[in-house]
């Protein structure tokens, strides 16, 4: 993993929307400042400083930037680096990790990019290697079967976005105990399945608000909310603004 990978520093304005898109090459994203909601592989999660996300090539995903904007480092691992990671990590599942150490490494990388002297390349090479090592160790492929059931639960929630699903309904769909699935889901994502469903619905509503003229009340129904006020409350909780204000900014 000694080869220096290309690094891009990107800054995004508050409440921006990156509609569904994909990349020709695999990327690693280090969140340095701000936050954004990432929707990929039927997951919708909010990431802040210290998050490190892997995006497989040609994997469709969308993003909603938080109220403070976002600053990210985009790393492009080489084929050899990807092969080394793939021995231990299920890269096709778009894994992610988050830690204080990743936040510190990201800030040091930003500082080296700003200095840009004769030693920056050497320093950045070492920092990239440490990022890869921490990612590989923290995102090791899980050996227990519940990981597959968690993915199936995510898929089931995404496929039935407009339906009221209880934890028991989701657990039955993936042949798992509700208690066991709930605990494993929270350990994996840091949120409950109910919170995850709300994020999925909010992300879908945001896509429709930004790309269609469909009335807000109708979007609420399409995305599984009880009514427009329910959608508005969810939007305020997740994105810090109303659906109408979001549509005006998009």
Structural domains of the chain in order of their starting residue, each with its CATH number: 7-138 (2.60.120.280), 146-249 (1.10.10.60)
- Please write the tens of the pLDDT for every residue from 205-249: 999 999 999 999 999 999 999 999 999 999 999 899 999 999 998
Buried-state track 144-167, b at ≥16 Cβ within 10 A, e below 16 = eebeebbbbbbebbbeebeeebeb
- Please write the tens of the pLDDT for every residue from 124-145: 999 999 999 999 999 886 544 4
pLDDT category of residue 1 using cuts at 50, 70 and 90: very low
Main-chain phi, psi angles of 220, to 5 degrees: -60, -45
Predicted TM-score (pTM) of the model is 0.65
pLDDT category of residue 146 using cuts at 50, 70 and 90: low
């Amino acid at each position: 993993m000694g080869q220096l990978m290309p690094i891009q520093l990107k800054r995004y304005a508050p409440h921006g929307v990156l509609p569904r898109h994909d990349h020709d090459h695999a990327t690693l994203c280090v969140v340095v400042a701000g936050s954004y909601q990432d929707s990929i592989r039927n997951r919708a999660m909010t990431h802040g400083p210290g998050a490190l996300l892997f995006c497989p090539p040609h994997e469709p995903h969308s993003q909603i930037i938080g109220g403070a904007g976002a600053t990210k480092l985009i790393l492009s691992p080489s084929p050899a680096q990807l092969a080394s990671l793939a021995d231990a990590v299920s890269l096709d599942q778009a894994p992610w990790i988050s830690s204080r150490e990743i936040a510190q490494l990201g800030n040091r990388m930003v500082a080296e990019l700003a200095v840009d002297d004769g030693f920056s390349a050497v320093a950045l090479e070492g920092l990239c290697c440490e990022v890869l090592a921490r990612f590989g160790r923290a995102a090791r492929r899980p050996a227990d079967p519940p990981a597959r059931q968690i993915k199936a639960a995510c898929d089931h929630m995404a496929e039935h976005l407009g339906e009221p699903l209880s934890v028991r309904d989701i657990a039955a769909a993936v042949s798992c105990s509700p208690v066991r699935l709930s605990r494993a889901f929270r350990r994996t994502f840091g949120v409950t399945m109910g919170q995850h469903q709300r994020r999925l619905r909010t992300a879908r509503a945001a896509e429709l608000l930004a790309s269609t003229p469909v009335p807000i009340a109708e979007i609420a129904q399409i995305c599984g909310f009880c009514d427009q006020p329910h959608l508005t409350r969810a939007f305020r909780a997740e994105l810090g603004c109303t659906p109408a204000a979001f549509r005006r900014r998009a």
